[in-house]
Amino acid sequence: MRNSIRLGLTAFLISFCFETVFYIFDLASNSTIGFISFAFHSLNLITVVLYSIVNWKKNGSNNKGTIDKLKSGFTISFIFSLLISIYFFSYHKWINPEYLNTKKTQLIELTLRKSVLEDAQERIKQDPNYYDGKSAEDLVEMQQDNIKEVLMPSKILPISIFTFLFIGMFFTILIALMSKFLDSKFNK
């Protein structure tokens, strides 16, 4: 269990260094970079979970069961998710509070495009019962309200915890089951 905690902290420190570089070079303002950042953190978590589950043979403990592998991956996922989410909350609340305001403004400006209104009108035409009593302008306004509501530090915290926890748990289960299958296949 100690090794899992250590690996969870290591995964967080790797992601923290990545975020620090982004902050120092002011790369966070680009929306494409936000996706790259999320992809990096997800890949970092998956890689550390994979290392934890597959590395058991190197430690000489060939009797590590699937439950132990799941516990290890879940522990790593929990620690990483909690720490990176606290970092994101701190970043958006105190370190760079203007980031979310800028992102809100950019996204709201995107909703003001004519194509968005046309898309809303098309959706209403395709499913008039679902959008009964709503106009295309109402849909755009609802989208803008959702943008304002979600892009707040207090909302980012649970969203990032849930997202990274889900990713970590999903890949822990997948890797543990694949490891069990491969062990049974090659250790007959």
Question: If you average pLDDT over residues 168-181, what whole number do you get?
Answer: 92
In sequence order, which residues have a C-beta less than 8 Å from that of residue 10 and are 6 or more positions away?
48
pLDDT of 6 strictly over 60:
yes
Question: If you average pLDDT over residues 106-129, what whole number do you get?
Answer: 87
Q: What is the pTM of this model?
A: 0.85
pLDDT of 185 strictly over 70:
yes
With cut-offs at 50, 70 and 90, classify the pLDDT of residue 72.
very high
Query: Is the dihedral angle over the CA atoms 93, 99, 103, 109 positive or is it negative?
Result: positive
pLDDT given for residue 58 in this prediction: 56
With cut-offs at 50, 70 and 90, classify the pLDDT of residue 100.
confident
pLDDT given for residue 79 in this prediction: 98
User: What tens digit of pLDDT does each residue of 42-54 get?
Assistant: 999 999 999 998 8
What's the full length of the chain, in residues? 188
pLDDT given for residue 30 in this prediction: 65
What is the C-alpha to C-alpha distance for residues 47 and 32, in angstroms, rounded to an integer?
22
